[in-house]
Chain A
């Protein structure tokens, strides 16, 4: 079944292309963000590593909060003063604490954060090994023992019952 098409696919595509070309003709080239492109690049690369204090799940690079604007202005100033990335990071950490960093530093208060997952993993592996050992023991025990006459009869009864159900 075909859908009736009053204009036809070819005409439609031509119209679409024409509309898109019109858009291109109207669009202007985006103006440069700032006079100094190198500074902006560094600003973005530094501020992507930082958390915005106001909207805490956004990076400082992408946040539109007022404070983020101000902080980017400060960082821009520091970059122009010739400060290194580390110095800019220190400037922020001195004021807002480790919270601004997306990569928390390794220190006594963050050991749990850094090693906690590995401790959990090791615990889980240990538990798994203990469980498997115990199970292997149980399997060996079961394999070593033979069925009593009573148990054999019970098993056969179950098997034949199962077979007769299948043939029905």
Chain B
């Protein structure tokens, strides 16, 4: 009987590792961002709707805001879009868009058709600002606090669950401070 204990123990350990790998919500593609709790990288980009007007995150000092990286070619962005549109209607937190590696015409058409949840969308045609923010898969969403520090990064679409369990509680807390 005792001789079965060792293989049984090893099997239990193996099952433990496998269960850990299958944990719901565990995505090996999710890479923890080194930018969380660091100042949001500065940039100066033209606005999607008004190419002659620029925007810089400095203008957002003193406000908690979301920066959502999106593109008209991105399938998951369509999935999260209704969530963002609904959020924008509640006016709890301003959402700014970073239109990543897109064309102005396609992006504008996409917003006209599906609704525009963004206060302003910034146009990052060559993806340089995306690289500064460590974007590696759209959509990605950053929660940035009053002093311009990134407090959370959502990789992949914002789902109603992520919004109500992570993003909104964090935003409320940051708005108080």
- Which residues of chain A come closer than 8 Å to B101, judged between CB atoms? 66, 70
Query: In this assembly, does A67 line the interface, its C-beta being within 8 Å of a C-beta of chain B?
Result: yes
CB-defined interface of A41-73 with B at 8 Å, one 1/0 digit per residue? 000000000000110100000000011001100
B127 touches A95 (CB 8 A): no
A96 touches B31 (CB 8 A): yes
A56 touches B127 (CB 8 A): no
Query: In this assembly, does B16 line the interface, its C-beta being within 8 Å of a C-beta of chain A?
Result: no
- Which residues of chain A come closer than 8 Å to B134, judged between CB atoms? 95-97
B34 touches A74 (CB 8 A): no
Query: In this assembly, does A18 line the interface, its C-beta being within 8 Å of a C-beta of chain B?
Result: no
Within the complex, the shortest CB–CB distance from A124 to chain B, in Å, comes to 13
The verdict on A97 contacting B31 (CB below 8 Å), with A54-B136, A54-B137, A67-B136 known, is yes
Considering only CB atoms, which chain B residue lies closest to A94 in the complex? Answer: B34
Within the complex, the shortest CB–CB distance from B99 to chain A, in Å, comes to 15
- Which residues of chain B come closer than 8 Å to A74, judged between CB atoms? 128, 131
**Total chain A interface residues with beta-carbon distance under 8 A:** 15
CB-defined interface of B120-164 with A at 8 Å, one 1/0 digit per residue? 000000111001111011000000000000000000000000000
Considering only CB atoms, which chain A residue lies closest to B29 in the complex? Answer: A56
Query: In this assembly, does A128 line the interface, its C-beta being within 8 Å of a C-beta of chain B?
Result: no
Q: Pick the most buried of A56, A66, A95, A98: most chain B CB atoms within 10 A of its CB.
A: A95
B31 touches A95 (CB 8 A): no
In whole angstroms, what is the CA distance A70 to B137 when docked?
13
- Which residues of chain B come closer than 8 Å to A66, judged between CB atoms? 101
- Which residues of chain B come closer than 8 Å to A67, judged between CB atoms? 127, 136
Within the complex, the shortest CB–CB distance from A20 to chain B, in Å, comes to 44
Query: In this assembly, does A112 line the interface, its C-beta being within 8 Å of a C-beta of chain B?
Result: no
Considering only CB atoms, which chain B residue lies closest to A99 in the complex? Answer: B31
A71 touches B131 (CB 8 A): yes
Interface residues of A, dominant DSSP = helix
B131 touches A95 (CB 8 A): yes
Within the complex, the shortest CB–CB distance from B6 to chain A, in Å, comes to 11
Query: In this assembly, does B35 line the interface, its C-beta being within 8 Å of a C-beta of chain A?
Result: yes
- Which residues of chain B come closer than 8 Å to A155, judged between CB atoms? none
In whole angstroms, what is the CA distance A99 to B128 when docked?
20
Query: In this assembly, does B33 line the interface, its C-beta being within 8 Å of a C-beta of chain A?
Result: yes
Within the complex, the shortest CB–CB distance from B166 to chain A, in Å, comes to 20
- Which residues of chain B come closer than 8 Å to A54, judged between CB atoms? 136-137
B131 touches A53 (CB 8 A): no
Please report which residues of chain A, range 58-113, place their CB below 8 angstroms from some CB of chain B when the two chains form the complex: 66-67, 70-71, 74, 93-99
Q: Pick the most buried of B126, B132, B134, B137: most chain A CB atoms within 10 A of its CB.
A: B134
Query: In this assembly, does B32 line the interface, its C-beta being within 8 Å of a C-beta of chain A?
Result: yes
In whole angstroms, what is the CA distance A97 to B101 when docked?
22
- Which residues of chain B come closer than 8 Å to A53, judged between CB atoms? 31, 136-137
Given contacts A66-B101, A70-B131, 5 further A-B contacts (CB under 8 A): A67-B136, A74-B131, A96-B34, A97-B31, A97-B34
Query: Can you sample 17 A-B contacts with CB below 8 Å?
Result: A53-B137, A54-B136, A56-B28, A67-B136, A70-B101, A70-B127, A70-B131, A71-B131, A74-B128, A95-B132, A95-B133, A95-B134, A96-B33, A96-B34, A96-B134, A97-B32, A97-B34
Query: Measuring CB to CB, which residues of chain A are less than 8 angstroms from any residue of chain B?
Result: 53-54, 56, 66-67, 70-71, 74, 93-99
